């Protein structure tokens, strides 16, 4: 029984939208786009969008794992890049990072194609 794309990859659709939001946050929250924290949001948001788009086309374990790592980076970037003083931007990064990480883990745990790909990466004993 084949699942419809919209129900099967809904996590990727949300990650794509969240990534687009992350790209737009410097302007939406009133921060200069040429600061380190804004460039971080733009670059990582673009990465999330591209990876989610790949994953919407065909499920790729590597794309989900990289998006999960990008999510962890985004969530911790306010401390690593020292922009916790920019509270709206920092809070947004934390929320976006946690949301994308939860969606990526949900997808990893629930998508049978990802389970098959994961199993194929394990060495044969």
pLDDT, tens digit, 9 for 90 and up, residues 16-52? 999 999 999 999 999 988 999 999 999 999 999 999 9
CA 69, 30, 53, 14 dihedral sign is positive
Q: pLDDT tens digits, residue range 66-108?
A: 999 999 999 999 999 999 998 999 999 999 999 999 999 998 8
Contact 83, 89 (CB under 8 A): yes
Distance CA 36, CA 23 (A): 13
pLDDT of residue 114: 72
Distance CA 28, CA 31 (A): 8
pLDDT of residue 5: 46
pLDDT of residue 124: 63
Counting beta carbons within 10 angstroms of the beta carbon of residue 57, is it exposed (0 to 12), middle (13 to 18) or buried (19 or more)?
exposed
- What DSSP string describes 38-52? HHHHHHHHHHHHHHH
Question: Can you give the pTM of this predicted structure?
Answer: 0.86
């Amino acid at each position: 029984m084949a699942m419809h794309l919209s129900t099967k990859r809904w996590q990727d659709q949300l990650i794509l939208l969240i990534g687009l939001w992350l790209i737009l946050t410097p302007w939406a929250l009133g921060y200069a786009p040429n600061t380190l924290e804004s460039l971080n949001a733009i670059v990582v948001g673009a990465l999330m969008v591209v990876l989610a788009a790949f994953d919407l086309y065909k499920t790729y374990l590597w794309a989900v794992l990289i998006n999960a790592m990008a999510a962890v980076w985004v969530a911790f970037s306010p401390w690593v890049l020292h922009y916790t003083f920019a509270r709206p931007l920092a809070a947004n990064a934390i929320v976006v990072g946690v949301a994308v990480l939860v969606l990526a883990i949900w997808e990893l745990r629930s998508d049978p194609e990802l389970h098959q790909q994961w199993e194929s990466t394990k060495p044969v004993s």
